[in-house]
Amino acid sequence: MSDPQAVIRLQFLEEAEDYLSTIERELSDISQTSDRRSTIDLILRAAHSIKGGAAMMGFTVLSDLAHQLEDFFKVMRAGKTLEKPLERQLLHAVDQVHQVLQLNRQGTEPTDQWLEGHIHPLFGSLRDQFGEPQPENDLALLSEEAGDDMRSLLFESEVEGCLQRLETVLQTPNHPCLREEFAIVAQELSGLGQMLELPQFSQFCLSISDLLEQPSTDVKAIAGQVLKDLRHCQALVLTQQLNALPDQFVYRAELADAIPSIAVGEEVDIAAEAFLPTGESTSFAKPRTAVSTADLRSGSEPGLTVAQTAQLEFTPETITTQTINPPSSASDLATDVSQVRTVRVAVQQLEDISELFGELTIERNGLSLQLKRMRQLLQTLKSKVRRLEQSSFELRATTDRAATAVPVSSVVGGALNSWQQSFDILEFDRYSPVHLVSQEVMETIVQIQEITSDIETNLEETEHTGQALNRTAKQMQGRLTQVRMRPFADLVNRYPRMIRQLSQEYGKEVQLIVNGENTLIDRAILELLADPLLHLVRNAFDHGIETPVVRQSRGKPATATIEITAAYRGNQTVITIQDNGNGVDLQKIRQRAQLMGLDQASLEAASDRELLDLIFEPGFTTADQVTELSGRGVGMDVVRTNLHQIRGDIQIDTQSGQGTTFTITVPFSLSVARVLLIEVSNMLVAVPTDAIEEIIELNPQWVLNSAGQTVLNLDDTLIPLLQLDQWFQFSRPCPPVSLDGVPTINEPIVLLINQGNNFVGVKVDRYWGEQEVTIRQVNSTISLPPGFSSCTILGDGRIVPLVDTFALLQWIQNSHTLNRLPLEPTQSTAYLLPPQETILIIDDSINVRRFLASILEKAGYRVEQAKDGQEAIDKLKGGLQVEAAICDVEMPRLDGYGFLAQVKNLDSVRRLPIAMLTSRSGDKHRKLALNLGASAYFTKPFRESELLQTLRELIQINHS
């Protein structure tokens, strides 16, 4: 077995262990659950996943046992009551399966003797009690759970067969029944669409059938596009993207010409987005679609939400040493792990390794980006080779026709031998120099095809290696993170003694309860949590807990409790400090705030949450006197400040007479984070996903003005809305953002941010996706602007600032309080740093593009390039902002005339000045371009000064 296979098998065993944990957990809680069917469905899926994966990986015993468990769960789902003895026996069976998994992890299989002693009696007893699953159980399972799977099944079988039949027909030149075959398939698929309740697909097939019934329809011309569109529909159904199904077939000549014939069994390229799971679709339904960050994907693993990805990458394991007891005859299979060998490593060495891993993450993202670009270039190369092959055939045909149209002697270029003269040109081939050149060209094309195929094979292998590298790097990240972590007990193990001493000193009876002592926390975070957590515990003891006499007078136990809990939530660590004391006196907060100069009317109108937020203001305290425990004028504001340094937050919840709960959230790691890449005022910034509560498509009807403030009416709740572009004003203009591909959401959206106890909406221009990035500190004597804490580096080397949402919102709030307006560049600065205008060059010749780019850049313009009209349209639709365009006329895919026509139909660039630059100097070409909306027309060669002058005038006219 090769090493990659061994790695995959071990990865599966780790996945199977998670599934077994799910089964064990859900079985233990099944008697208390209110939704028994959903619980059993979850257990069934886990057992089914183990069964199928183990069989594929070659773990036969594990697969067989998982299969038996699946049968038991099917019977349970059909209504079998699970009594306590049977539940314990079933959990014991899960334990035995876990032991088999551990043996497989050690590279061995359980012996027959061990199976006879431990497995067969137990599973035999369970089978006697559960019985065999009935066929109707499987049918019920299929009908209830399959849902859209029936569509997928038929589209993978029936529809695939029809499409393969059409592919076979297309490979037969001049097929006599081409029209009939396509018509029959269209009618069959239309009926299938009606049966599966796919009206759009059914109507689409009917439109094809209607088109084929028209005698004037050129079947050969549309056949390729019909097949490609049907393949696209198949992919949409298989990925459950039913809303994207077309309902009418529209013939596009330029697309049909570019579609090659598809050989039987050849892999058909389908857009990569079609293979994303439904939750990862980059299309957003309208009106308003509220999407949590857990549903978004820009650089995550396919099929995983943000929360799932975070758990997969960051959830630590509590490593325990466990000895498996196999039978004595197989004692050689066991591994003695009762003693774990350890080694001391300096913390600085771990920090250095972490820094190196951060660089590895950046380089890994760069490798993924380069592979993506290589794949795009390869697709372009293959398209060019196909076009070259077609030209080769046309050249050969032209040469052959020319050979038959001239005298024999001229073909060979000289006198004929006597025996050659006895044959005419149809009886014996003659080869002229043109034939020889043509033959050499065709052989070169074949060699290019072979090289292209080799490049594709090597690229696929490199992509597989890159995927393996990503998986290994993520596993390495998890292991490295665990090494950097320390148990929560290291921080709180001294608290019980402290509470006992304080109780004796102040005459209070307090019991400290600590949950989650084994929760692992990053060492750096743990160190920074020490002071805030200690202050909160002492604060709870001093402010929250009453004396035993007071507690008994209120009907409470004399002994109070302070409970500290540490746990994981997604990619965050959550720590709660809860007491059952007196709670926070809100009236006392009002009185203290009034003494500090706050308006009494505002305090009376403030909500409880707004009053509680005052606790975190600098210098605020409700203590009547200064003690060693509290009341020194510092504390809660320092707690929040320290937490924000590690991208953490704190919230407070209190009930009068019942107690108070402080909830601290901190990131799982400080070195790596998942971020959303957003664009504001041509500036790309990164926002941590854990700071975003929800992403909402902006509906202008929801934006209101209330008391002079812009708010968002979301589900009848008014939320302050910040126009972030008003605050991202810098003295130097930012060039338009240009990344590979198009934005995930190419329109304004709102980021819903939880600011303490309130929500704030932040409007941004575009959303470019989500990535896992390495965080880098900026070491400079010049401080970062307000609201920015650090930066990250993308795969293309671009440095992107990381937003500190709390600091940014606080700065904006303080600016409003002080009646400051958003920053604007001064006249002198704006004069010294004029905005750089962008020109789009569209030409299929790279040399022409480079020549024009050098001229324009020398004149002070910024240049974007496109190799044809279609690429230019894609860039403009993707958000590229330009002041003018210079376009050729004759280009592949989409020529200059087609580009003009499409631009005038795009509202965002309808007024874009476009100057045509071509070698066609005839009035016919000029008039057609001007009629289509061209602003100017130049012929090659051109005068540089005239082109630049005209370009400047066009831009000025467009801006006026």
Phi and psi at residue 755, to the nearest 5°: -105, 90
Contacts of 169 (CB under 8 A, 6+ apart): 175, 177, 178, 181, 182
What's the pLDDT score for residue 624? Answer: 60
Claim to verify: residue 139 and residue 159 sit in the same structural domain = no
Helices 896-903 and 869-877 pack at an angle, to 10 degrees, of 20
Q: Do 661 and 565 belong together in one domain?
A: yes
Q: How many residues does the chain have?
A: 960
The answer to whether residues 126 and 87 belong to one domain is yes
Same domain, 556 and 625: yes
On whether both 172 and 189 belong to a single domain, the answer is yes
Do the domain assignments include residue 338? no
Q: Please list, in sequence order, all residues whose beta carbon lies within 8 angstroms of the beta carbon of residue 751, skipping any fewer than 6 positions away.
A: 676, 678, 687, 692, 694, 695, 761, 762, 764
Most confident of 459-463, 614-618, 948-952: 948-952
Q: Going along 656-707, which residue ranges are E strands?
A: 659-667, 672-680, 683-688, 692-697, 703-706
- Compute the average pLDDT of residues 137-156: 56
- Region 22-43: what's the mean pLDDT? 79
290 against 589, higher pLDDT: 589
Q: Is residue 31 part of a domain?
A: yes
Query: Would 36 be classed as within a structural domain?
Result: yes
Picking from 419, 452, 485, the residue at the C-terminal end of a domain is: 485
Answer positive or negative: Cα dihedral of 868, 873, 876, 879: negative
Question: Could you report the per-residue pLDDT of 606-654, keeping only the tens digit for each?
Answer: 777 777 777 777 666 666 655 656 544 346 777 877 787 777 888 888 8
Pick from 297, 306, 310: nearest CA to 571: 310
Residues 701, 844, single domain; the answer is no
Q: Is the residue at 678 inside a domain?
A: yes
Which segments of 485-585 does DSSP mark as H helices, in order?
489-492, 495-506, 523-539, 548-553
Domain count, the chain: 6
Does the structure show a pLDDT above 60 at 324? no
Query: Domain check: are 492 and 481 in the same one?
Result: no
**Bigger pLDDT: 333 vs 879:** 879
For residue 307, what pLDDT is reported?
Answer: 33
Q: What is the pLDDT of residue 85?
A: 82
Which pTM does this prediction carry?
A: 0.41
pLDDT digits (tens, 9 = 90+) for 904-927: 888 888 889 999 988 888 888 888
Are 477 and 507 within one domain? no
Residue 77 lies in a domain: yes
Residue 42 lies in domain: 3-144
CATH at 522: 3.30.565.10
**Can you give the three-state secondary structure of 33-70, one letter per residue?**
CCCHHHHHHHHHHHHHHHHHHHHHHCCHHHHHHHHHHH
Q: What is the mean pLDDT of residues 717-731?
A: 77
pLDDT score at 845: 82
Pairing of strands 510-515, 560-569: parallel
Question: Is position 627 within any domain?
Answer: yes
Q: Which pLDDT score is estimated for 937?
A: 92
The domain that contains 875 carries what CATH number? 3.40.50.2300
Q: Residue 899: what residue type?
A: F
The answer on 758 and 866 residing in a single domain is no
Domain end position, chosen among 255, 275, 295: 275
* Digit-coded pLDDT (tens) for 101-142: 888 888 888 898 889 988 989 998 888 888 877 654 554 444
Mean pLDDT, rounded, for 316-326:
35
Does some domain include residue 799?
yes
Amino acid letter, residue 581 = G
Q: Report whether 932 contacts 897 (CB < 8 A).
A: yes
Residue 887 has pLDDT above 90, yes or no: yes
Mean pLDDT of 772-779: 76
Is residue 564 pLDDT above 90, yes or no? yes
Contacts of range 797-801, beta carbons closer than 8 Å, 24 or more positions apart:
797/366, 798/684, 800/677, 800/684, 800/685, 800/686, 800/773, 801/685, 801/686
Residue 603 to residue 596: CA distance in whole angstroms: 12
Residue 256 lies in a domain: yes
Using DSSP's 3-state secondary structure scheme, residue 104 falls into helix
Give yes or no: residues 857 and 801 share one domain: no
Residue at which a domain ends, from 118, 144, 170: 144
Q: Are residues 497 and 631 in the same domain?
A: yes
Amino acid letter at 300? S
| Same domain as 397, residue 263 | no
% of the chain exceeding 70 in pLDDT: 76
